[in-house]
């Protein structure tokens, strides 16, 4: 199981997943493996895709907010991902931070 972080969001403040992952991927550090209305699977762009486990992390809507589950990457990569995800939320006008759960 990966490390999990949650950004607690107020009702009505959930971003569209398409907008969130699009903003996150503008850094060119991440690649979308698959995406839907309520979640997305992504990987670190500088890592080779593994056929048996293609994603390094997922973003999914959760009843309390937005859940970030990280399966791959080094410590510094994981820290950068959390910062980038928070920045993407802020860019979309949502003031929230991810807390480890």
Distance CA 24, CA 21 (A): 5
pLDDT in tens, 49-65: 777 777 899 999 988 89
Q: What kind of fold does domain 3-100 have according to CATH?
A: TATA-Binding Protein (3.30.310)
User: What are the structural domain ranges in the chain?
Assistant: 3-100
Distance CA 99, CA 64 (A): 12
pLDDT in tens, 1-47: 689 999 998 777 778 888 899 999 988 899 999 999 899 999 999 88
């Amino acid at each position: 199981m990966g490390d999990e972080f949650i950004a607690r969001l107020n009702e009505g403040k959930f971003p569209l997943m398409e907008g969130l992952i699009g903003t996150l991927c503008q850094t060119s550090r991440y690649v979308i493996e698959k995406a839907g209305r309520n979640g997305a699977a992504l990987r670190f762009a500088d890592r080779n895709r593994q056929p048996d486990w293609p994603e390094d992390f997922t973003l999914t809507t959760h009843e309390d907010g937005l859940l970030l589950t990280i399966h791959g990457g080094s410590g510094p990569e994981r820290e950068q991902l959390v910062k980038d995800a928070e920045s993407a939320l802020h860019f979309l006008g949502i003031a929230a931070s991810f807390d480890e759960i």
